[in-house]
Amino acid sequence: MCGIIGYSGDQDSIPIIIEGLRTLEYRGYDSAGISVCTEEGIKTVKTQGRLTVLEDKLKENPELGGGCAIGHTRWATHGEPSDTNSHPHSAKNLTLVHNGIIENYAEIAEMLKGAGYTFESETDTERGAKLIDLLYEKYQDPIVAISKATKIIRGSYALGVIFNDIPDTIFAIRKDSPLIVAKGEDGCFIASDIPAILKHTKQYYRLAEGIIAKVSKSEVEFFDMEKNLTEQQLETVDWDVEQAQKGGFPHFMIKEIHEEPEALRKTLEPRIRDGLPYFDIPRLDGDFLSKFGSIHIVACGTAMHAGLIGKAIIERIARIPVNVEIASEFRYRNPILKKNDLVLLISQSGETADTLAALRLAKAQGVYTLAIVNVIGSSVAREAEDVMYTRAGPEIAVASTKAYSVQCSLLYLLAVKLAVLNKTMSEDEARDFCARMLTDIPKTVTSALEMSTKICEAASRLVAAEHLFYIGRDMDCQLCTEASLKLKEISYIHSEAYAAGELKHGTISLVTDGTPVIALTTVGKVCEKTISGIREVKSRGAYVVSICSEELAAKYDIPCDEQIIIPHIDEILSVFPAICILQLLAYHVSAQKGLDVDKPRNLAKSVTVE
C-alpha cells in the first residue's frame, strides 16, 4: 500500500507534496514524510501519525523549501509505525520512498552488512535504499544502479529516488505496485494514483514494469533496463478534481454511496444494446461464453462479496455452476482448473496483489481470464484477457460502496448474457430483464438514499452494541456478508453474517437480551423460513431490525423492534436498494460514533501486498 508523490519544478514543492499526499492518504496513514532537495542537500522531515502531524512538524522547519521533493504516506508492513520506520529513507548518496514489500530484505541486509552498512530502521525499504546506494557507489550512474538493484530485489515496489548529486531529478521504477508519471505546466510528477496529480494535469503515463522514469523540472524521460531511451503511452483522465473531492458531503463514503444511481446508470447504459447485454468486447458479444462449463470468481473482500451475488444470480438464471474463491486462498491451494473453466477476477483497484496473483496463476494454466475492474489501465485490467470496466469513478473512502453495487450490476448483465446463451432465458425475457435493470435499479437506489434520516435513527440504536448479527437466507444471506463487513470495518463493532437457518446450530448461544440482529428479507420463497429464524432470536431477547421488501412486509407480520422498508422493485433486483440501505446504516453508525469513517484503523484502500 502506501502513497507516493514526487515533484520537480519551480514551485515550492512542500504544499504540492502535502496536497498530493492528502489525496493518497487512503493508501495508508500511519506515518508520513517528505524529503526536499535544498541548496544544503536533501532534508527530510518524517513522523509517525497522520499527515496533519507532518504538517505541524514542517511548521517547525519554516526554512525548508525547494523545487524538488518526494513524499510518502505509509501503511506499515515491516516495522511498527514510528518516526524511524517512516519514509523517506536515506543512504549516503540518495533518499527514497517505497510502496510494496522487498521480500528478500534479510538476504540483502546480510550482503550490505558485509559491505559495512548499518541500519537505523526495521524496514525493508531502508535495505533497498542502501542496496541502490552500494550500486551507485560502484557504477556512479543512477539508472544503472537502480536497474541492477531491481534485479536483486524480490517482491513488489514502486520507488521514487532522489540523489544528492543530481539536483531536481527524481528516478522512479515499479513492479506490482502502481506508479504514474506526469508532466504539468509547472513541473513534473510521480504518484501512486491519479488524484494526487489531478490538480496539475489530466495527462499521465502509467509507468510500465521494467522501465525507469527520469523526472526533471521540465521533462520526463523513460529508459529500459539497458539504459536505452524508450517511450510510454500518454493517457488522459476522464474525471476531474471535483469528482475526486467530497463535494459538500462530510465524508467520501457518504458521497460515494450517493453516487450509486449515477454509477449504476453509467455502468449499465452502454452495456445494453438493442435491449440485450452488450460488452463492447467482440468475442464476449458473440457466443464465445457458451463454451464455459463452470466459472470461478476470484477476488478479495467486498469484491469477493460481489462475487457471491454473482454466483447467486448466474446459478439462478443461467444454471451454470459458479465457485467463489478468496484470491489469497485460491493462489496457494493448487486449484483444479479445466480448459473450459472461466476465471473471473473482480477488483475495484485492479491492483490487489492476491487477485493479480490469482489471475496470473489462471493464465499460466491456460485458462481464459475475464476481469471486472474499476480503475482503467490497472494491472488486473491490463493482464486479464478481457476486461469489463465498472464506471464507478474514483472511490476514495477505504470502505468500498459504489464499486460493490456496480460490480453486482455487471455480474447481473453477465448472468443474463449467459442465460440467453444457455437458453434458460429467451431473448424477449432478457430484454425485459435488462429494461427493468436500467430503469428500476437507479430509481430505487435513489429512493433508498432518500431514507437516510430513518436509517440514521436506526443506526443510533446500534452505536452502543459490542456485537451484532446480520441474518438472511439465499441472496439475502450473501448480501449480509457485505453488510457485516461494512459495519465492522468502519464502526469497529464486531458483527457476523449468518444464514438464518444456521444460527440454531451453535451461534444462537451468543444472542442474549438486547443483542441487535439485523434481519434481511427480500426473497419470497424463503421469507417464512427467515421469519422462523427471527422468532428464535427474538425469543432470546434480540433487538431485531427488520429490513424488508415492500411486498414481503405487506404479506407477513415480521416480528421486530423496528422495520425499514426497501423501496419497491422486482424481488430479483432488490439487492441494489437493499445494499444501499445497509451501507447507509454502517455509515451512520460509524459517523455517530465519531470515528474516522473514510480511514478506518489498520486498513488501506489498495492492498498491493500479500
Positions marked active-site: 2, 605
192 contacts ligand F6R (rule: CB under 6 A) = no
Angle between helices 301-313 and 475-491 (to 10 degrees): 170
Contact positions with ligand F6R (CB under 6 A) in 304-333 = none
Burial class for 79, CB neighbours closer than 10 Å (0-12, 13-18, 19+)? middle
Q: Which stretch binds ligand F6R (CB under 6 A): 116-124, 299-307, 517-525, 583-591?
A: 299-307
Q: Which of 121, 355, 444, 546 binds ligand F6R (CB under 6 A)?
A: 355
Residue with smaller CB distance to ligand F6R, 523 or 604: 604
294 near 341, Cβ under 8 Å?
yes
303 contacts ligand F6R (rule: CB under 6 A) = yes
Q: Which of 261, 301, 307, 577 binds ligand F6R (CB under 6 A)?
A: 301
How far is Cα 560 from Cα 463, in angstroms, rounded to an integer? Answer: 18
Give the helix, strand, coil percentages of the chain, each rounded to 5.
Answer: 40, 25, 35
343 contacts ligand F6R (rule: CB under 6 A) = no
Contact positions with ligand F6R (CB under 6 A) in 161-190 = none
Q: Which residue is nearest to ligand F6R (CB)?
A: 301
Q: Which of 85, 156, 348, 369 binds ligand F6R (CB under 6 A)?
A: 348
Q: Which of 124, 256, 489, 536 binds ligand F6R (CB under 6 A)?
A: 489
Binding residues for ligand F6R, total number by CB under 6 A: 13
- Minimal distance, residue 257 CB to ligand F6R, in Å: 12
- Please list the alpha-helical segments (H only) found in 314-369: 327-330, 353-364
- Minimal distance, residue 61 CB to ligand F6R, in Å: 36
Q: How long, in residues, is the chain?
A: 610
Tell me the C-alpha to C-alpha distance, in Å, between residue 176 and each of 64, 243, 315, 375, 427: 33, 27, 34, 15, 42
Q: Which of 406, 392, 433, 474 is nearest to 569 (CA)?
A: 433
- Minimal distance, residue 389 CB to ligand F6R, in Å: 13
574 contacts ligand F6R (rule: CB under 6 A) = no
Look-up of cell digits 444511481: 261
| Angle CA 551–264–491, to nearest 5 | 75
Helix (H, G, I), strand (E, B) or coil at 334: coil
Report the run of H or E that residue 576 belongs to, with start and end.
helix 575-592
- Minimal distance, residue 25 CB to ligand F6R, in Å: 15
399 contacts ligand F6R (rule: CB under 6 A) = yes
Q: Which stretch binds ligand F6R (CB under 6 A): 79-87, 120-128, 171-179, 344-352?
A: 344-352
How far is Cα 77 from Cα 383, in angstroms, rounded to an integer? Answer: 26
The strand ranges marked E within 87-192 are 89-90, 94-102, 155-163, 170-175, 180-184, 187-191
- Minimal distance, residue 485 CB to ligand F6R, in Å: 6
Q: What is the DSSP letter of 208?
A: P
Q: Which stretch binds ligand F6R (CB under 6 A): 178-186, 348-356, 450-458, 567-575?
A: 348-356
Q: Which stretch binds ligand F6R (CB under 6 A): 194-202, 301-309, 569-577, 580-588?
A: 301-309
How far is Cα 575 from Cα 577, in angstroms, rounded to an integer? Answer: 6
300 contacts ligand F6R (rule: CB under 6 A) = yes
The type of residue at 385 is: E
- Minimal distance, residue 590 CB to ligand F6R, in Å: 12
Q: Which of 379, 400, 484, 530 binds ligand F6R (CB under 6 A)?
A: 400
Q: Which stretch binds ligand F6R (CB under 6 A): 257-265, 345-353, 447-455, 543-551?
A: 345-353
- Minimal distance, residue 308 CB to ligand F6R, in Å: 12
The type of residue at 95 is: T
- Minimal distance, residue 412 CB to ligand F6R, in Å: 18
Residue with smaller CB distance to ligand F6R, 443 or 605: 605
Residue with smaller CB distance to ligand F6R, 1 or 108: 1
Give me the long-range contacts of 41-50 (CB less than 8 A, separation at least 24): 41/164, 42/90, 42/95, 42/162, 42/164, 44/88, 44/90, 44/95, 46/72, 46/83, 46/86, 46/87, 46/88, 47/83, 47/86, 48/81, 48/82, 48/83, 48/85, 48/86, 49/81, 50/25
- Minimal distance, residue 357 CB to ligand F6R, in Å: 12
Residue with smaller CB distance to ligand F6R, 148 or 402: 402
| Burial per residue of 487-510, b for 16 or more beta-carbon CB atoms within 10 angstroms, e otherwise | bbbbbebebbbbbbbebeeeebee
Q: Which of 101, 129, 220, 607 binds ligand F6R (CB under 6 A)?
A: 607
Report the run of H or E that residue 234 belongs to, with start and end.
strand 234-236
196 contacts ligand F6R (rule: CB under 6 A) = no
- Minimal distance, residue 301 CB to ligand F6R, in Å: 2
347 contacts ligand F6R (rule: CB under 6 A) = yes
302 contacts ligand F6R (rule: CB under 6 A) = yes
491 contacts ligand F6R (rule: CB under 6 A) = no
Burial class for 242, CB neighbours closer than 10 Å (0-12, 13-18, 19+)? exposed
352 contacts ligand F6R (rule: CB under 6 A) = yes
Q: What is the DSSP letter of 122?
A: S
Residue with smaller CB distance to ligand F6R, 353 or 419: 353
Q: Which stretch binds ligand F6R (CB under 6 A): 222-230, 300-308, 425-433, 495-503?
A: 300-308
Q: Which stretch binds ligand F6R (CB under 6 A): 23-31, 97-105, 149-157, 296-304?
A: 296-304
| Phi, psi (rounded to 5 degrees) for 236 | -125, 135
Count Cβ atoms below 10 Å from residue 452 Cβ, excluding itself.
Answer: 18
Three cell numbers at 161? Answer: 529516488
Q: Which of 77, 349, 379, 484 binds ligand F6R (CB under 6 A)?
A: 349
Under the rule (CB under 6 A), what is the footprint of ligand F6R?
Answer: 300-303, 347-349, 352, 355, 399-400, 489, 607
